[in-house]
Structure 1
Amino acid sequence: MCRSSDTHLIAVPLPTEWNIDLYLKDESTHPTGSLKHRLARSLFLHALCNGWLRPGRPVIEASSGSTAVSEAYFAQLIGNPFIAVITRGTSPNKIALIELYGGRCHFVDDPSEVAHAARALAAQTGGHYMDQFTYAERATDWRGNNNIAESLFAQLSQERFPEPRWIVATAGTGGTSATIGRYLRYTGRQTALCVADPENSAFMNGWRDRDADASTRIGSRIEGIGRQRMEPSFVGDVIDRMIRVPDAAAVASIRHLESLIGRRAGASTGTGLWAAYTIADEMRRRGESGSVVGLLCDGGERYLDKYYSSEWLAAESLDPQPYLQRLHRFHDGGSLGV
């Protein structure tokens, strides 16, 4: 549990005359390759300290992939079996990673059934259902101990704008945004928090309307973020702004990012990056200087058969080209808008 360390802060180039710095905190460098490594570590510590885990009994999670990968790693570390309850459409690369760390997968067809199936499996096996969607916001200590916000501000202390105007996150459980938002208030920062939400997610409508029962008919196409219902770990009161990001814009953003920094990222990163670009564009037009920070949530190698596949994009009727054109115009000094 003590092997987790800091992650890098990557500068994303913008025109120098804007006097705006954009960074991505690269969470893909964790041992299990994603932002969810922090969450899994916190969930396991929380469960161990609460006495919920038993030797030899399985740990069970409802996850679209990355959380399951990271939880499989920690379960193997302490010698417990791990079962991930996931939808059949989950990336094969993520399934392979879960199995690499000794986990096994239990598949369901309907994304809305993963939590019910995980709870039932725990009852059948005498195992523990980790339930990230309930415990994410309370398992992570927002005052310290592997806190992403504390790490981020320590790194920014050496930059020309040490206190960013905005931090942009995305939400799957809502644990990361809750941690960042609470930390900002705990430390008296002036930094604002924006959460970028993909299509087919209930979070933005629920946050905007203050509706705890908001839901959507179908699930998000962006793995790891967006939910069909308002999850218990989503803490809307610590969020200053939400931006709805088209899925095609998220795909365009990660393809454009690769041309800038030579790195592939998942579409959750692209969702947040499009929102960060939107904020930077607004700052530029108002003549404001400062910094904006987003998250590089995981590497794009897990999604070669999805967000980097022309066949998958065509099947989903997603066309990133119009958004790519807007990004090229934006980086040439123009507006991101239409």
Structure 2
Amino acid sequence: MTTTIALSRPFDRTWVLGAIRQIEADFQRSSDTHLIPLPVPGFPGIDLYLKDESSHPTGSLKHRLARSLFLYALCNGWLREGSTVVEASSGSTAISEAYFARLIGLPFIAVMPAATSTEKVAAIEFQGGRCHLVEDAMAIYSESQRLAEEFGGHYMDQFTYAERATDWRSNNNIAESIFEQMRLERYPVPSWLISSAGTGGTVATLGRYVRYRARPTRVCAADPERSVFFDHYVSRAPGLCLQEGSRIEGIGRPRVEASFLPAVIDAMVQVPDVWSIAAMYELSARLGRTVGASTGTNLVATLACMAQMRANGEAGSVVTLLCDSGQRYGHTYYSEDWLERAGLNCPQERAAVAATLDSGEIAEALSASWRLAGELASAP
């Protein structure tokens, strides 16, 4: 007697294929993000570019990740028609996932730290999602799993699946896009790619891609002060944990995440939050539009890479990420009252960042406060 096992009901398969088609159609409607050159007078012979991920339909770098996570979940059979999608997120990933959930007709719940900016909460709700706020940043994981089980849905778990859901070999991932856009520049192969780490998925994509394509490009990860990634990179200790979460939304983690792969990273910079905010303000002034604090973190780490190149007499290009717009942070990073309460007012630091960009000399206060590891450990 032959036993036939039905792996998927016909209407499930039809719905899944239709959902994948909707997501792919959305991708075809979207153009690539811009690569913006930024003049840096203090570093002649070194060209700096910003990959502007704020121009995605949901306004941040996390749009790429959310698309990949949904396709990964659909192709693995984890999502069904009517499934409730749950995610642990400090905001930007949740905004993007809410967008894709609404696109394919699924309810969405974001489990977020209570300190998440009100602008991000509003953006999630605008996309049709629901926000579930928790006081303890470490509780977002267990609470997400609990809600997924309660509603019979699926916990997307970006912190586990970010590095494996993204196709790092091709398919217009962010690394491939950068190299394609750099083809006609003065230095088409970047000396450094710099990205902050939230899940670690973007840094993993960059690191894997340059190895896969046999590029000499080095990859630097930027980390805020309330995060374990830098110390994990140095020690490889898996059990590192902090009781407080990052103040730079979207990056840094209080525990080591599965998607953070230190072996594909050539260097790391841990940036004090006050310098991230200072760089955010100075870069916003030079671009003529606001950026988020994680982009400030990226810029400070980029300065470390450029300083090493300058010290070594090396010409070339560096590319970092403009993660999102400052419009999402009107009640936090762009609020004088909030900065005062957080102890992050930074007029002196901002002046020092400006002087560094214009002179090429790293401000003494900055070099005394950042932490460098990997190939940057001996940088100025």
Alignment TM-score, normalising by the size of structure 2? 0.87
Q: Distance in 2 between matches of 1:200 and 1:194?
A: 18
Q: 1:328 deviation in Å?
A: 2.1
Counterpart in 2 of 1:91? 117
Following TM superposition, by how much is the alpha carbon of 1:279 offset from its aligned partner in structure 2, in angstroms?
1.6
1:299 aligns with 2:325: yes
Distance in 2 separating the partners of 1:282 and 1:323: 21
Map 1:49-60 onto structure 2 (within 5 A): 49-60=75-86
- Identity, in percent, stands at 56
3-state SS of the aligned residue for 2:257? coil
Cα distance between partner residues in 2 of 1:75 and 1:331: 42
Q: Would you say 1:200 and 2:226 are equivalent positions?
A: yes
Deviation of 1:17 after TM superposition, in Å, equals 6.6
Determine the structure 1 residue equivalent to 2:71.
45
Whole-Å separation in 2 of the counterparts to 1:180 and 1:234: 12
Query: What's the CA shift string for 1:47-97, capped at 9, x where partnerless?
Result: 000011011121000000000000000000100000001111111111111
Q: TM-score when scaled to structure 1?
A: 0.98
1:68 matched to which residue of 2? Answer: 94
Query: Does the CA-based 8 Å contact 2:246-2:254 persist in structure 1?
Result: yes
3-state secondary structure, aligned to 1:197? strand
Cα 1:191–1:303, aligned 2, differ >3 Å: closer, same or farther?
same
Cα separation, 2, equivalents of 1:146 and 1:226 = 26
Query: Does the Cα contact within 8 Å between 1:13 and 1:260 map onto a contact in 2?
Result: no
Paired position in structure 2 for 1:153? 179
Match of 2:143 in 1: 117
SS at match of 1:250: helix
Q: Which amino acid aligns with 2:41?
A: P
Tell me how far 1:256 sits from its aligned partner: 0.5
Deviates more, 1:314-323 or 1:297-306: 314-323
Aligned mate of 2:197, from 171, 182, 185: 171
Does structure 1 conserve the Cα–Cα contact (< 8 Å) formed by 2:353 and 2:363? no
The SS at the match of 1:28 is: helix
CA shift, 1:16, in A, is 7.4
In structure 2, the partner of 1:220 is 246
User: Contact 2:355–2:363 (CA<8 Å) still a contact in 1?
Assistant: no
1:21 matched residue in structure 2: 47
Deviation at 1:15, TM superposition (A): 1.4
- One-letter amino acid of the counterpart of residue 316, structure 1: A
Which blocks of at least 5 consecutive residues in structure 1 are unaligned? none
Structure number with greater Rg is 2
Q: Return the offset for 1:145.
A: 1.7
Q: What SS does the corresponding residue of 2:215 show, helix, strand or coil?
A: coil
CA root-mean-square deviation: 1.1
- Is contact 2:111-2:143 (8 Å) kept? yes
Show the counterpart of 1:82.
108
Contact 2:224 2:273 in 1 (8 A): yes
Residue type matched to 1:276 in 2?
T
What SS does the aligned partner of 1:115 have? helix
Structure 2 residue corresponding to 1:104, chosen from 130, 133, 137? 130
Any conservation in 2 of the 1:196–1:242 contact (CA below 8 Å)?
yes
Tell me if structure 2 keeps the 8 A contact 1:38–1:146.
no
In the alignment, residue 289 of structure 2 is paired with which amino acid?
R
SS in 1 for 2:251: coil
* 2:359 partner SS: coil
Q: 1:184 to 1:114 in 2, by over 3 A?
A: same
Aligned pairs, number: 338
Look up the match of 2:261.
235
Cα deviation digits, residues 278-337 of structure 1 (max 9, x gap): 221232233211111100000000011111111111111113222212122223324123
Q: Which residue of 2 aligns with 1:34?
A: 60
- Residues 222-264 of structure 1, C-alpha deviation per residue, up to 9 Å, x if partnerless? 0000000000010110000000101111111111112211121
Following superposition, which runs of at least 4 residues in structure 1 exceed 6 angstroms of deviation?
A: none
CA contact (8 A) 2:189 2:217 kept: yes
Mapped to 2, the partners of 1:50 and 1:110 lie a distance apart of 31
User: d(CA) in 2 for partners of 1:16 and 1:120?
Assistant: 52
Could you tell me whether the CA contact under 8 Å between 2:43 and 2:360 is conserved in 1?
no
Query: Are 1:320 and 2:346 counterparts?
Result: yes
How far apart, in 1, do the equivalents of 2:69 and 2:273 lie? 29
Alignment of 1:229-308 (within 5 A): 229-308=255-334
In structure 1, distance between residues paired with 2:77 and 2:158: 17
1:191 paired to 2:207: no
Please say if residues 41 and 360 of structure 2, whose CA atoms lie closer than 8 Å, have aligned partners that are also in contact.
no
